[in-house]
Structure 1
Amino acid sequence: MAAKLSVVDKIDEDLLTCAVCLERYKNPKILPCYHSFCEQCLVKLKGSRDTIKCPNCRQQLYVRNVSQLQPSMVINSAIDIIEDQTKHRGNETCHGVVKKTHRKTGVWTVPWISVQRAPKLTKMPISRRHRIMTVEETKQAKLSDESIALTAVHCTSHKDKLCELYCEKCRVPICSMCLTTRSNHKGHEVIDLQEVADRFCKFTKDQVTILKEKEREVKQSKISATKQLEGLTIEHLQRKQHIQKHSMETIEKLTKSIKQKEASLLGKLKTDYNKRKEDIKTEMHQYDTKEELLTTTITFMNNLLLCSSSAQLMTTSEETEKKLKTMVSLDTKCNDTHDSLPQFYPGDIELKGILGSFHTPEVDSVSHASQQSQESSHAINAPMKLERTIGGDESRMFSVPLGVGINICGDIVVADEGNETVQIVDKFGRPKSQLQFTGYSKTVSPIDVAISLDNAYFITDGSWVPSAENQVIVCNQYGKVIKCFGAKELKYPYGIAINHNNGIVYVVDNDAHCIRLYEMASFKYIKSVGSKGQGSCNFESPKFIAINSNGCLIVSDTGNDRIQVLSSDGECMFVFHGCENDYFSFPCGVATDKNDNIYVCDYEHNRVQKFNSKGAFITNSVSGSDVHNPIGVAVTDDGKIIVTDDTRCVRIYS
């Protein structure tokens, strides 16, 4: 049966063996990942490159010169202690007697010497300075002082004196002779060796306690990361199934290009999934490395405390402190802020449509919770705060601002009926340009504006006055008129919106109580949807219109105090009148955000309300003294709300 390894041998084998050459470290160097290897082993691993792949954690590390890496002082000190122990057990054998090594303590004892013969043995020249004890004396001494089993440490300046004191300035154990003779320690602050060793032991134990807590923490972090990975896999499968299901539902009416788009979406999803999976795996690998470092350090420190004398502890105390502080400073908390996979939103697939798109969920918990419960009729969102007011009664920058939109540059575009212009201001409210309409036989009255993907402006020019032109003006961003259309059909054009998926322009005809459809490319009239009344697809003086990502029409049926949601072909899908027991009163501007939430200007109630895509109330986004009779509304890509109101100003809420 193999002999059981001593603690010293176990430390030597487990902690002081290079993982490359499998021998005791020779001039160990520390890599940036905190793993240590022999200098020559690292030189071989590096070769002619400027990188080294750590054999333990497999990280690719930039190392230009191995010799410039920081040496592992703790490992070197531990090797010195081990070699000192080996030296005392083997090389400094007392040659004057037959000795026996205690199998646990390593103390040399003379099993056969009698009490009477021991004093004579100490007078022999070869053993005059040796400690001679019988087995019985050793046992008795160990009961009163366990340090009797530890190797005595002699002063480096006075070889025949034991270290009993500790120099605070030099941070080394010394003997009493160092205080009376000319030495480097004269005049320094000196304290009892045992006292400082006890203090250091307490510090070390406290640090080990902290390391144990961090070890527990990193284990918990690994569990959390594992759950994240499991959740990510489930999320990936759900998104994949959602995409595939939507694809199967529309496969009969789509062309081969839709299949290519499906593959593109799945590829993007797979790329996002793989990226997030690798991020979490990398983080888990870091936790493994940190756990290994913490476990190794704890084991090493515990064994160091167990097998070292006070002098040995204090000899390496400085480097030990550095090592402990480095380990304590490790970040072991789980990073649970990984983004989830982008949400897939199905598109209203047509020959010119798209299969769907990804939208990254908002980070804040309120918006995220609202997004998850989008079908809920009572979702909760925080109200918006007034960020900036542009214009007003005093500045007269605007006269009668009505419809508002956002162009492709992120600028705010306002149809100012009173000034007979379309005004463009940046997000800070600074004027950029004006579109003025001259050379017309009749006054131009801009009511609303829609912006195409190529930054062309479609402007409704309408009035209840019989002599008005009542048309749609199309111009570029510099005001150059491209086309005017709709004069034959339109009685009083008001709101306007563009469906870029099917290439149709929708114009609300206030006086005709309907919606007119025109081809965007040719400006050709297609048909009208709706008529006067209170039923489905009936309107009473409708005002504004918006289009969501599915191509659905959101129309403010102002005279009926309601919002109607229609399909892109003009079929009524559903109607809502506001909150339960708190209905709209003269609803005007409507808009949608990237999540298809619906915003409604409730004119007479002085508020802008937010509803989900099914018409369920979410919150009063804007209300109170911050707004007065809101008319037009638009939502920016970053979620800000732009509102025109009766105080001749444009307000920005965030």
Structure 2
Amino acid sequence: MASKLASDFDEQFLTCPICMLHFRDPRVLPCLHTFCRECLQVWATKQQPLECPTCRTRVSLPDQGVDGLRTNFYVNNLLDFAAVKKGSEPGVPCQVCEGGRDQTKVWCTDCAMLLCESCTAIHRKVPVTSQHELEGREGPDRLQRKRHCHKHKSQELVFFCESCNALVCTACTVVDHRPGKDHNPVEISTVAQRRRETLQGLLEDVHPRLKEMQASVKEVEKKMSNLNPAKEAATDQAKAYFRQLANLLQKREKEILSQIDDQCRADGKALQTKKEAIEFELAGLTSAQTFCQQAVEHGSDVHILEVGNQVQTRVETLLAKQLDLDIESNWSEFQFVENTAVKDFKDEVETLGGLKTDVDVSKCGVVVKPAVQGFQCSASLTTVNKGGHACVTHSRAVTTNMKDPSGESVPTKLQMERGGRWEISYVPMVTGNHRLEVKVNSQEVAGSPFDVTVQDQDTPVLTIGQKGSGVGDLDGPLDVAVDTGGTIVVVEQGNQRVQIFHADSGVCLGGFPVSGEGPYGLGVDSAGAILVTSLGEDCAIRRYSKQGALLNSVQPDCLCPSGAAVLQDGRMVVSDSAQGACLILEHDGSLIRDIGEGYLQFPSSIAVDESRGVIYVTDRFAHKIFAFDLDGNLALSFGRQGENDGEFESPAGVALDPAGNVIAGNAGDGRVQVFEPDGSFVRNVATATGKSARGVAVTPEGLYVAVACYKGHCVELYRYL
């Protein structure tokens, strides 16, 4: 790979992704991305914790900061090679005398400089530089800058101390790394060969994985290339389907309109015939009425006698004639009838057609998370294809419906996440059993509808442990912490051990015994290591891996280390309950400063808000929380002894939520309270089982508060946000 890059490398290998200029002192992050040292230093001041600008991987810098990162010497070689290539071009000056533009240049690998012919000759004569390696226009593999010892500047690094994992020079092997029990210097070539073989083995493992990933990319590209044809085919089918439905509706509309027209014509004709018959009889009766009225009003006696009988007979005949004057009995007004109501048809329309995907509804799974009244709660759905793998589908394929105990609907919101995972969120306003219905492609997933028990805010969503000494049991839990991965770490007084639990299920993930007479407090550093403070004659701060290996032990100058917190840079803050003070310590336990003397009586737990530079300390005897800045100055204190809101009964545990609010647990009565950063009371979270909240911790996203219930021999999780 190096030789290939040597022949055809381009500017991308020489350009820093941050400043977009040629690398200056290139440094490699643990994720193997390279940046200028100065660029990384600026980047680190803007971002805590530091993330790689390219891949966004979180990075833990060494104790020396950016300066402690490895130099990318291959990039330096490429830069040197670029300089040599440029030096071969006409008009490029010597980097020593700034002349010799028309001369051939050579490269000094020791000085990392281009030299003209004159300077090269001098370089070879001067005793100090006479042994320097001078190269012509070679590949980057030949232009290897020599590495010199930081302590012995003139000495080249030619040995590797395996005990110290450090490159050393010949002088170092005589002074600081003399071969023996503590040091084992070996020639670099020997160790490098072993490392090269190890890396070669890794490369052999990488190759099939790369092929697998490349094949996967091609498969994804193939799927992507099929998207538009599939879309066009599905679109054409959908349009044809709905055109048929529309045609059927239009045809039915025409039929109904035609029936209306026919009915109107038939009824019109019948009514016209009826009208004509009645009008004919009306005319005869009207005429007889007129004649009769004239005879009565104007006829003489003789005239009356002459026509009277005739008029009487005519009128009586007309009146006696049976006429059909009942219109309603022969015809009723017609109207259109909705055999299917629009509302019902709308419901039916929503089921007309659908999008068939590869989702196998029988294999889809739903996980219902603990639900608490008044909080946003959620369940997760994973859509799975027929091959049993999580797969993506369109949002309209998934429908959810929730009912509370009274049958009222609870609004739900569906949010698609990565890889076929969906979050179903809702806010229940009442407690009790709710029913959650989940459908994919109009089919209910297995287990639907799901029973969701909504609890009140004072009920723990999860209780971990019970009194005992077995795996997962707890005996007098004194403190609790949550690591960056969200697992819960608990230290027990009775069993003198640490146990680690899964935050969602409460399943014990492991545990280990701890040294010391009386384990007391917990802390978790940015690397995931667990700090345990212990009281008694062998009091110390011990740092363990998650597997229980003792990494190191610090015995600071304190009588009774209780609470502990770890800063991002690895410094520690420890409370000394015996001396009534807190100590800020270096990584190795050396004292930086003590704080709180004269204020603190019995400091217990510690929480640090590094963004604001504030240390919060609970004081069990003073029944207060004190806040100091990192220089040891008192910022504020709040609380007093009592049972009312904002008052304390022997405050023990303390933690900070993502907004910087202070969460405190009382060892005396078990209340867990929330305060603003200035000490203003906000609310009560809950009262711990056994009424003794000795330790509190907040999950990374701030959803839950974990409480170590000392007398209840358990850890309880309460909904917080």
Bin of the TM-score, shorter chain as denominator length: 0.3 to 0.5
Max Rg structure: 2
Between structures 1 and 2, the one with greater helix share: 1
TM-score, normalised to structure 2, is 0.40
TM-score, normalised to structure 1, is 0.43
